[in-house]
Homo-oligomer: A and B are copies of this chain.
């Protein structure tokens, strides 16, 4: 707390590259990071905190560092379902990358954490200035698109257990621990199924020794087991993200 060196700093000071855990911020060229850094603000992201509201202008871009964001599509009759999750590998505000200023979906913290945010205007300015930043953001956007497409596939063809397993794996990828602090109710909302259905499915996982459950929390014990349950509905978006982030250093 009382370190005199310039690197360690109060929250709002410009972050050094070493401080950030978001993969996009980590990965981008120093020049691009320098473009963003002055506008980045370290923020805590509390459970259920709303980041974007459908139809409303996007105020900030959030580079997630810990926690998980749920992106949820909603229609006129309030039917809703999760179309993607975002963790330290990504960011919110994808429409900005496409030159749009409005949020398409609802986005909120499903699992609390922290991240860096910057005003939308500053972000679009930076995008305009840097081709390489644009390139990276578009790859990130594409990765999210792929995730959405495979969510559509899972929603249409997978069984409840398969979808639940898929979700747990995606959450696990984005967390630092094996504990997933979530209620059955929220899992049900995201998957668009009954709460009771989630409860039963989780029991089955527990009986098979794949997870341990406590009130408001479940812990992955045997990830390989969950992967088997998820069948082929998990994996492609993850592999594609890796590919997209690998080939342009």
Contact = CB atoms under 8 A, between A and B. Distances in A.
Interface of A: 73, 75-77, 79-81, 83, 94-95, 97-100, 104-105, 135, 138-139, 141-142, 145-146, 148-153, 155-158, 191-192, 231-233, 235-236, 240, 244, 248
Given A145-B145, A148-B145, A153 B81 contact: yes
A42 to B, nearest CB: 29
Contacts of A244: 100
Q: Please state the number of chain copies in the assembly.
A: 2
Nearest to A104: B146
A123 to B, nearest CB: 15
A76 B232 contact: yes
Contacts of A233: 75, 79
A248 to B, nearest CB: 8
Contacts of A75: 150, 153, 232-233, 235-236
B149 A104 contact: yes
A141 B98 contact: yes
A158 to B, nearest CB: 8
Contacts of A81: 152-153, 156-157
A44 to B, nearest CB: 28
Contact of A104 (B76, B83, B155, B240): B240
Given A73-B153, A79-B157, A192-B156, A99 B235 contact: no
B152 A83 contact: yes
B138 A98 contact: yes
B149 A99 contact: no
Contacts of A151: 152
Nearest to A79: B157
Contacts of A135: 99
Contacts of A156: 81, 155-156, 191-192
A79 to B, nearest CB: 5
A150 B73 contact: yes
Nearest to A136: B99
Contacts of A157: 79-81, 192
Contacts of A80: 153, 157
A105 B153 CA distance: 11
